[in-house]
Chain A
Amino acid sequence: MTRPSRTHPSRTRILRRREAALPVPPVAREVLSARPAVDEGRPPLLLVPGFGAGAWVYAEHWLDHVADRGYPAHAMSVRGHGGSARARRAGLRAYVHDVVQVAASLPRRAVLVGHGAGALVVARALARYPAAAAVLAAPVFGGRLAGWSTVGRCLVRNPVGTVPAAFGGPLRLRRGQLFSRQLPAATATAYRQRMCRAAARAQWQLLLGGLPEPPVGDPPVLVLGSPDDAVVSTAALNRVARRYGGAPLLFPGMGHALMLDAQWREPVEAVLDWLDKGLAPRD
């Protein structure tokens, strides 16, 4: 038996001193919802955006599409993002708290969907909430698993936008990192202008933090991404997928922002097909 360590935790720690001594302070959170016309008892999807993005990135296309396919859809902004309350000193634990709070407020066990660094937030939330299933889209995991290769790629492609983030400044991704050429330039610019920044502490934790604890309740996990993603390498994608016992689902020709790019329909269709297959409503 291998000894559990901070970077490769293989067990659930049940004595959580920090969480008991210093609970995360409450904030007002933005949640955008779209409900299917007929509720057929399917699990709700909770869509969690990455660092710098708010619920609006899902409201653009995915939210309505998910509801049209019969799944209640909720997109949220973690604190300091989108329409949620400001929180300049927040860390990953506060973001995880936000996700678990919204998930637990839904009437049924939710499917957690995280994108980019939001996938890491979701992966951590899986250790604090037994989700019905989870989807990690273009996951940016911290530390050894994928952190350094992601940072390296960003530094090479976009040194001006990346270097400040290493000193607690904002991370500014370029159009070519986020979107494919098929997305009109004006649209891409508008999207980029709506981006904000994550808290400096959360950025540091993303870079240096350990791996998430194992999920509770053994949910099925789907990892997806694009081989042409300029932020997350295919190797990093494979490493994350392997951790959850599978291979990533790939969508060639797409940029990092899978839910905003021109071909946004393909990944969300794949996610819903995967859910249809695995999570048929029980009678």
Chain B
Amino acid sequence: MSMGHGGGARGDLRAAYDRGETVCVIGAGASGLLATKNLTEHGYGVDCYDRETGIGGAWNWRHDRSPVYDSAHLISSKAATQFPDFPMPDTWPDFPRHSQVLSYLERYADHFDLRRHIWFGTEVVRVEPVAQGRWDVTTRSTGGVTERTHRYSAVVVANGHNWSPKLPSYEGMDSYSGEVIHASAFKDPATLRGRRVLVVGAGNTGCDIAVEAAQRAATCWHSRRRGYWFVPKYLTGRPVDQVNELVLAARLPPRVRQWLFQRVLKLAVGDLRRFGLPAPDHKVYETHPIVNSQLIYYLGHGRVTPVPDVARFDRHAVELVDGSRIEPDLVVLATGYLPQFEFVDPDLLGVDEQGRPRLHLQMFSPRHPSLAVAGMLQPDAGLFPLVHWQTVAFARWLRMREVDPDRAAAAVARFSPPGRRWHDARTKDTSRHWFETSRISYLRALQRLLDELEPSR
């Protein structure tokens, strides 16, 4: 797909209906709702488009692109996940279930009267820059034909990054006699009952599904590429992220913290090689934390058998890298997701050869800062607060652009080069960790931006 951009001198005569200062938000999931609420709060009109007929995006299990499964619960605790200006109810547990998160988003939308800004059943086909940092957004009704183009002063892309499966290509996988699915297609744990299941991948989803299989399947093999650190959900009777915050409050240098956390995990979780797992080949904080208290329990009860990486599939068996062969009748590939922006020229998001978008402060387009991506982060604690402040910063940035465009451009350029990481450990350079973000480092950077954009009182 090639598109001209920057000039605004498009040859065709398609009329773009000018929406003035209105901002376009793509997606009505958590990030899109946050963007809609914070932009309207700053006085902007918002047109939010969603391809589905309801809000909630990934958290709405009715949506065909939703990755949630029956047992999906929050990984970070309620206090670390809730919006900074709209707390989850006191009566909820520390780790709410996905359906509670959806009802939270629905209450948020109703409380701030957001639904009147949302165009449901409408998908965005194209986003193209025109002069003065403005954007032509072409939409059509989901699955429909007729296209309409509106012109906006800015665009927030909030289409999520956990819906397009990243599928590994193992030799012979297509001709395997058993069933092979991606974790995105796994919804109901009843499908595991009595079967011989191989779960590939030891991310948070892979571990959750292995735990489900441990309770229902006849056999569960769990394959992983490397050794990981397993963080329990509770330490000293408190959610582990709260304990981590207490340690952070002591303002120890990152290396000392890393050492301390590693000591604590050795005490609380212990040596995983006893369970047949490989020792971690990296320090804690260098990969996304796996927060799971149950997997080790089921490993110890023989309900989950750890196996190494898959080498290849043949007609009836899966061969592992150590040469052993297993015969699962269901293979669940919990191998993650890749970001997808099929409606925008990859150049605008600074997408490199590997497919990784490189943005200023992980949100602003390196070409035109009036295009921002909200929520493309994988933080070590709750995501929602970071997206809240991202979208507040974007609204404030738009305000500054109206008054002083040069200062606004400079405020974003300070975060050069695009694609910088906001993390204090050296994270692994795999697509799994493209968006790995440290909550503290990122909030500090956002605070600097917000201070710069603060209207002078």
Contact = CB atoms under 8 A, between A and B. Distances in A.
A146 to B, nearest CB: 20
A14 B447 contact: yes
A101 B457 contact: no
Given A11-B451, A11-B454, A14-B450, A20 B381 contact: yes
Nearest to B243: A21
Majority secondary structure, A binding face = loop
Interface stretch (B10-18, B107-115, B210-218, B327-335): B107-115
B89 A105 contact: yes
Given A23-B242, A108-B111, A129 B90 contact: no
B246 A26 contact: no
Given A26-B90, A26-B91, A109 B112 contact: yes
A128 B451 contact: no
B248 interface: yes
B429 interface: no
A23 B106 CA distance: 24
Given A20-B381, A23-B242, A15 B451 contact: no
A97 B85 CA distance: 11
B246 A14 contact: no
A106 B85 CA distance: 14
Nearest to A282: B113
B440 interface: yes
B447 A13 contact: yes
A15 B85 contact: no
Contacts of A108: 110-111, 113
Interface in A7-44: 10-23, 26-27
B41 A217 contact: yes
Contacts of B145: none
Contacts of B457: 10
Contacts of B249: 17-18, 21
Contact of B110 (A11, A19, A20, A107): A107
Interface in B335-381: 381
A54 interface: no
A130 interface: yes
Contacts of A26: 90-91
Interface in B78-119: 78-80, 84-87, 89-91, 110-113
Interface in A98-137: 100-101, 104-109, 128-130
B428 interface: no
Contact of B84 (A14, A97, A105): A14
B456 interface: yes
Contacts of A156: none
A15 B444 contact: yes
B446 A14 contact: yes
B389 interface: yes
B87 A100 contact: yes
B79 A19 contact: yes
B443 interface: yes
B147 interface: no
A17 B456 CA distance: 26
A86 to B, nearest CB: 16
Interface string B22-55: 0000000000000000000100000000000000
A282 to B, nearest CB: 8
B86 A15 contact: no
A112 B245 CA distance: 31
Contact of B85 (A11, A21, A23, A216): A216
B443 A15 contact: yes
Interface in A143-162: none
A15 B113 CA distance: 27
A10 B79 CA distance: 25
Given A101-B87, A217-B41, A22 B242 contact: yes
A88 B84 CA distance: 26
A17 B245 contact: yes
16 contacts: A11-B451, A15-B443, A15-B444, A15-B447, A18-B249, A20-B79, A21-B249, A26-B90, A101-B89, A104-B86, A104-B89, A107-B110, A108-B113, A109-B113, A130-B85, A216-B41
Interface of B: 41, 78-80, 84-87, 89-91, 110-113, 241-242, 245-246, 248-249, 381, 389, 440, 443-444, 446-447, 450-451, 454, 456-457
Sort A-B residue pairs by CB-CB distance and give the 7 closest, nearest first.
A26-B90, A21-B245, A23-B79, A20-B245, A21-B246, A15-B443, A17-B249
Interface of A: 1, 10-23, 26-27, 97, 100-101, 104-109, 128-130, 216-218, 282
